[in-house]
Amino acid sequence: MSRPDLREAALRNLQGRLATDPRDLAEHTPVIEPLSLDEAYLDVTENLQAIPLARDVALAIRARIKEVTGLNASAGISYNKFLAKLASDHRKPNGQYVITPEMGPAFVETPARRQIPRHRTGDKR
Q: Provide the phi-psi class of 122: left if phi over 0, else alpha when psi is between -120 and 50, else beta.
A: left
Neighbours of 80 (CB within 10 A): 12
Residue 34: φ, ψ to 5°: -65, 140
**Annotated catalytic residue, options 8, 27, 33, 39:** 39
89 with 78: CB under 8 angstroms? Answer: no
| Residue 31 DSSP code | -
Q: Provide the phi-psi class of 44: left if phi over 0, else alpha when psi is between -120 and 50, else beta.
A: alpha
Is 39 a residue of the active site?
yes
By annotation, the residues acting in catalysis are 39
